[in-house]
Amino acid sequence: MSLSCSDRFTDLLCAEDSNEVLSDDSPACSSELDSQASCIEESSIDGFIEDETNFVPGFDYLARFQCQSLDASAREASVAWILKVQAYYNLQPLTAYLSVNYLDRFLYSRRLPQASGWPLQLLSTACLSLAAKMEEPLVPSLLDLQVEGAKYIFEPKTIQRMELLVLTVLDWRLRSVTPFSFIDFFACKLDPTGTFLAFLISRATDIILSNIKEASFLEYRPSSIAAAAILCAANEIPNLSLFNPEHAESWCDGLSKEETAQDVTSASSINPRQNEVQ
């Protein structure tokens, strides 16, 4: 669940004492609660960074596209279709990202009968269906999900069998760590006043989705992608555009590691308008 800087502390307050705690008569208590909430959030982000490599394809996945053992153009077409369905039904951005995450993790672990064509379309449909079931309050039927230029239409029972195979290959680990696990936190770090918070999160989300079609995007960790997207969004705001990208490594402990800092600097060079979702 996404929390803004202003509302992320609410659940920490006892209802019968909330007015007293937030009043001007008890600044010490309010400050103590703010500090406690900040520590809890920092701890959560540290945990995400520690676990993030468990929810991405192996390190040699990108190399398989480069040596053409996997078809990058077929993957790009599948991701483009997922994004079209996401836009058609106004699904959450996380749903689209998770769909692609499931697809990439499956392709890393299991080879399809053919690199493109109906097997990849079936896999894309199953991954999108699983992600929608994870994140959406209302999920289109399996037949309705196959819209926006799908070249093949599958019976629901066929998709369900593919869903089970995907679940098995992914070891039922669907609650993945993604860039969306980080962007609210990083946005607050870059703009602690909250003045541009809504724009930073929205624009960073667009940047992330507009780049996931590129296989080269898989080179970076979710935390690095999130930091880079926030930095790209900040470049569109004059008051924040002078921020030094190298300082992003101070946002949390995980990003202070040398290799992650290098990822942030490299990933922040992505063109935010290079691959806008059509």
Highest mean pLDDT among 80-89, 149-158, 208-217: 80-89
Nearest by Cα to 38 from 213, 227, 236, 252: 252
Burial class (CB in 10 A: 0-12, 13-18, 19+), 169: middle
Average pLDDT over the chain reads 76
Taking CA atoms, 210 is separated from 115, 140, 170, 234, 259, in Å, by 23, 23, 25, 17, 25
Token couple for 230: 């926030």
Token couple for 227: 């930091």
For the chain, domain boundaries: 54-169, 179-267
The answer to whether the pTM exceeds 0.85 is no
Nearest by Cα to 179 from 235, 130, 221: 221
> Candidates 3.40.50.920, 1.10.472.10, 2.60.40.1170, 3.30.360.10; correct CATH number of 54-169?
1.10.472.10
Nearest by Cα to 94 from 150, 121, 133, 59: 133
Region 212-219 average pLDDT = 84
Token couple for 50: 């520690």
pLDDT band at 20 (very low <50, low <70, confident <90, very high): very low
- Do residues 219 and 62 make contact, with C-beta atoms less than 8 angstroms apart? yes
pLDDT at 193: 84
